[in-house]
Structure 1
Amino acid sequence: MRDGADMNVRIACEVGAMLGEGPIWDGQRGCLWFVDIKGHALHRFEPLGALESFRAPEEPGWVLPMTDGALLVGAREGVHLFDGATFELLHPVEHEQPGNRLNDAAVHPDGSVWLGTMDNAEEAPTGAYYRLHGGDLEQLSPEPMVITNGPAFSPDGGTVYLVDTLERAILAAQVGPDGRPGEARVFARLPEGMGYPDGPVVDSEGTVWVGLFGGWGVGRFSPDGAWLGRIEFPVANVTKIAFGGPDLKTVYATTARKGLSDAELARQSGAGDLFMFEVEVAGQEQVHPRPSPPTP
């Protein structure tokens, strides 16, 4: 694939997010949702340029659109339901780990929600992955991490990709018939000079895309783990992408101002904004979470 200089990477919307994250295309409504974790905000972006923002509880890590018009939002306390006006806590997560927060999530083809947690101070290996299915929240392997990102799923749902950000590694595991992952293996490690792997996404041909925090772009890996190169950005901290538009060939990317000095921010005027570019291979159709009852 062509590099960023040829792909017309450009600002879709000026946001100035401290930690923009979790972009996801809502095909039912024709819009993009994303969050600013440190800004405690949930954003809805219309392709014609309109941005609507909502104050979110604590630190929202991700958002997932549901078929009934509501949203699932992962914030520090756990999984919330947002009806457009209020946030309701449905499933508390890790109350025994008050220093942790929810960080990223994805929906498996079976409708289950897979989510990860992390140490908010980015120091202790207290982060874990969970699967929310039918109202049950189950902790998954692998071993605890400081910062989890993902998961993301192969087009057939048979492989899950999990990111260990501080180890600069992407793990992969087979998803069994029971919907649970097998033993994780190292799928790929970032080449030197590419920053840290952030949120992963898989396109319709199985290519794994990952935001490069401190790496000035988006990295790509083939289904067998080979490095395919980087889409270059004019800002250092690219957090995650989403495939959107009617044909799922418009890529949106969230970015962050977090960790940048005043001098770096002066040189990166678009840091924290929402970017976009077009691709030839479409993303995957978004799977909606299956409604599940709240934890009693």
Structure 2
Amino acid sequence: MTDEPELVWDLRAELGEGPVWDEARRCIWFVDIKGRRLHRYGHDDGATASWDAPDQIGFALPAEDGSLICGVRGGLHRFDPDAGVFTLIQRVEADRPQNRLNDGFVSPDGALWFGSMDDSEEQQTGALYRWFRGGLERKDDGYGVTNGPALSPDGRTLYHHDTLQRTVLAFHHDNGQLSNRRVFARTEDGFADGPCVDADGVLHVGLFNGWGVARFSPQGERIGTIRLPVQTVTKAAFAGDDLRDLYCTTAWLGNADKREAQPALGGLFRLRADTPGLRPTRVKL
């Protein structure tokens, strides 16, 4: 890293998650899952805006028509940023009412990948899904807390986490199909939270209760940690014209008693990375 993490928005989210770069609007979108809020931070001017979500919201990802596709408990919603309106477009897991949606990613073909989890974090009822042009497929099952997924630069490896197990899984990915499920890495110094990948294929993993972002080589070797001044880091995302501005969401969930000592818990941080990230794709509708 080329500088120290900067607190750019001291919003104190209970469970900040899912930062994503919106190049067209030049902003970062992210959510506060437990606060049931969608947030926008202006990359150039620092302008902020927030909206109430219909329920717990796990992710918000830009779509090709300018809207956002949001994972809200019970289903996928389309959010119109101009009108500020959420509209249900796809029910998810009507048979698992104890679950909520958690973290998502758009692959280069425009498919939306996302996970679900038991809201109480007790049962392994979470699953991994792919949603493409209105078709929903369950790709894997039996998770405690899902986070991710993310893809390698060549698109051949998909990473997905079972956070409760502190485990990063890897799959062979081929045109939306998964095979060769295996353990890629484990995070002993924190719970493996949201992932992103840089242009060199280095996997960046938020460390819940681990004070930073873990970095893993494409071979699964731990090659470093980006340290932050708060202990609950949930996910990082590359942004900016050169994709070297790294934004990190954080949370105070589970650490309410630490807020006096760590007043920036739940804030949005930014720092400069040496290696750029991958340009995000919009959801195809």
Shorter-chain TM range is over 0.9
- Normalising by structure 1, we get a TM-score of 0.93
CA distance in 1, matches of 2:108, 2:47: 31
Q: Which residue of 2 aligns with 1:254?
A: 249
Partner of 1:28: helix, strand, or coil?
coil
2:114 aligned residue: 115
Tell me which of 225, 233, 236 is aligned to 2:228.
Answer: 233
Structure 1 counterpart of 2:158, which letter?
V
Code of the aligned partner of 1:111? G
Alignment partner, residue 67 of structure 1: 64
Partner residue, 2:282: 288
**Aligned equivalent of 1:294:** none
- Structure 2 unaligned blocks of 5 or more: none
Gaps of 5+ in 1: 292-296
Look up the match of 1:12: 8
Q: Per-residue displacement from partner, 1:54-106 (whole Å, max 9, x unpaired)?
A: 11110010010123211111110111001122111111100111110000111
2:163 matches 1:165: yes
Shift of 1:135: 1.3
Equivalent of 1:205 in 184, 200, 215: 200
1:246 deviates by 1.1
Distance 2:155 2:80 in 1: 29
Q: 2:181 matched to 1:181?
A: no
Q: Deviations over 1:99-125 (max 9, x none)?
A: 100001111111111110000000000
Q: Percent identity?
A: 47
**Deviation per residue, 1:28-65 (Å, 9 max, x gap):** 11110000001110001012221100111100100101
* Match status 1:218 vs 2:233: no
Aligned to 2:267: 273
Structure-2 separation of matches of 1:228 and 1:13: 29
What are the superposed Cα offsets for residues 108-156 of structure 1, whole Å, 9 maximum, x if unpaired?
A: 1111111100000000000000111121101012x41110100000112
CA distance in structure 2 between the partners assigned to 1:176 and 1:66 by the alignment: 22
Instruction: Give the Cα–Cα distance (whole angstroms) in 2 for the partners of residues 19 and 134 of structure 1.
Output: 29
Paired with 1:55 and 1:135, the residues of 2 have a C-alpha distance of 25
Equivalent positions of 1:18-37 (< 5 A) are 18-37=14-33
Say whether 1:82 aligns with 2:85.
no
**Structure with the bigger percentage of strand:** 2
Distance between the aligned counterparts of 1:57 and 1:248, measured in 2?
32
- Counterpart of 1:49 (choices 46, 50, 54) is 46
Q: Which runs of 4+ in 1 moved over 2 A?
A: none
Tell me the distance in 2 between the aligned counterparts of 1:261 and 1:11.
19
**1:154 maps to what in 2?**
152
CA shift for structure 1 position 186:
0.5
CA RMSD of superposed structures (Å): 1.1
User: Aligned partners of 1:144, 1:200: CA distance in 2, in Å?
Assistant: 19
The Cα shift of 1:176 comes to 2.0
What is the correspondence of 1:134-153 to structure 2 with a 5 Å cutoff? 134-141=133-140, 143-153=141-151
Structure 1 counterpart of 2:244, which letter?
Answer: K
- How many residue pairs were aligned? 282
- What is the CA–CA distance in structure 2 between the aligned matches of 1:72 and 1:204, rounded to whole Å? 25
